[in-house]
Amino acid sequence: MLTRRLENSSPTVTVVGGGVAGMSAACALAEAGFHVQIVERRGYLGGRASSYLHPGVNEVIDNCQHVLFGCCTNLAGFYRRIGVADRIHWTSAMTMIEPGGRRSRLGPFELGPLRLPAPLHGMPSLMTARAFSMADKISLGRAFQAMMQPDAPDAAQESLGHWLRRHRQTEGALNRFWRLVIASALNADIESIAVSYASKIIRELFMNSTAAGSMGMSSVPLSELYVGAEEFLKQHGSSILYNTNVEAAQWDEETSQWEITTRKGALLSDFLVLALPFEAMQKLLPHLPPGDGVAKLAAQLERHEHWPICSVHLWFDREITALDHAVLLDREIHWMYNKGRLQPWRKLKGSYVELVVSTSRTFAALPREEAIAQSVRELTEFFPEVASARIEKAALIKEVRATFGVPPGIDSARPSAISPWPNCFLAGDWVATGWPSTMESAARSGHLAAEAICQSIQEPRTFLDPDMKPTGLMRWIRTENRDQRAGNK
């Protein structure tokens, strides 16, 4: 690999893409002394995890509710770096509601100072949850016990659906836990999820520690979080080019620099980070230099598939629930987030809720009015107050390219941070991070790309935040041997 440090100046890095992956890479590199410029085709940061002023309702809304968990160490580290960690609202309990209103609570056991050690901390709430029959609870316990063991050699090649049938899961456990909680977390149906990723999520969220499963939600619109990233970059002598689309990039052997072509003119850079979704990377690939490894990367990109997420935003003239959020069972809508309560700065007289539908291509195909009407009908089954409330405005957001799938065998289609080109590195939730398609995977990929750049000039730096350590009894249970630095290999 050709590398060159500029005399009497900092090396320059162009990061293509202003999503979580691009921002985490850019901020880490700026902190390390590089001169960084993010090139973003839109007028705001965030990529698939952003917010904007919706003209139909004249409200700033997120394109979908995004959450982080205590185990998302790199996303949390990115938020700390840019000074916005205090804008995350944390909770450790999850309310599950059945049609008709019956509720069950999942979360760690707490009785005054008494705490159960991991992985037992969630057992009392599971055993008392009325949403599951005793047979459901026994089958879930059997599956959890199996997932505490190291992954089988073929775990990355077996589907979760097949694994669950082997472990005799009941219909209640399948429908109210695996198809909802886990399939929603990975945004795919259980037949399209590799066991290795499902078991990782189970261990991280429900077993390793109480803190690992805590859920965090932004108390401000997502794009407002990223103002912190823009300010951080400015303070470190770096910048963002908005509304700028990269059309091509060429490596100049004589100057050891990248020449990046945009409609606004050419950019020169010592290093290039391509922090794009896989489909955007596919489009750019023909406009990058030929070379060894390009065909392999193209073949890897071809194997990825999108899964949609839809969200319905509803404003009511009155409060319909005092819950901050809830899991909704047995219906098309999966999650309710009470944005009026989570974001009190809105100072609403009524209420504003966001309903999330994961994995459903059928719902994503519905016309706007039909999708909203179905959502309201179903919401009434969980919260009777909806029947007497007046809907003041509504919005439907369809993110048809929300995530990439993690089916059996997908690991071979996830490249490392090292690209086929000199001084060029890859970032994005789809590269090899050991995580499924999440903001945590995106943040990790950015940190891995930043580390790879520093390593290439023989000035190694560590940006990757380590995994949260297991606590309680989980400290003595070896569950996996996955190298979290897979993206550097």
Dump pLDDT digits (tens) for 67-85: 999 999 999 999 999 999 9
DSSP 4: -
In this structure, are residues 215 and 69 in contact, taking their beta carbons and an 8 Å threshold?
yes
Quote the radius of gyration of the chain (alpha carbons, Å). 23
C-alpha 211/C-alpha 314 separation (Å) is 31
The pLDDT value recorded for residue 61 is 93
Residues 6 or more apart whose CB falls under 8 angstroms from that of 172 comprise 132, 133, 135, 136
Burial bucket for residue 112 (CB in 10 Å: 0-12, 13-18, 19+): exposed
**What is the end-to-end Cα distance of the chain in Å, rounded?**
15
The pLDDT value recorded for residue 122 is 92
The pLDDT value recorded for residue 167 is 97
Buried b (16+ CB within 10 A) or exposed e, 414-451: bbbbbbbbbbbbbbbbbbbbbbbbbbbbbbbbbbbbbb
The pTM score is 0.93
The pLDDT value recorded for residue 479 is 60
The pLDDT value recorded for residue 480 is 53
For 217-233, the pLDDT digits (tens) are: 999 999 899 999 999 99
C-alpha 47/C-alpha 276 separation (Å) is 9
**In the structure encoding, which two tokens stand for residue 365, read together?**
């195909």
Strands 110-111 and 51-54: unpaired
Question: What are the structural domains, with CATH classification, of the chain?
Answer: 12-48+222-304+408-474+482-488 (3.50.50.60), 51-86+306-404 (3.90.660.20), 104-213 (1.10.405)
Give per-10-residue mean pLDDT for the chain (489 aa).
Answer: 47 97 98 97 93 92 91 97 96 95 92 85 94 97 91 92 97 95 87 95 91 93 93 97 97 96 96 97 97 96 94 97 96 95 92 93 94 98 98 94 93 98 98 95 98 96 94 80 41
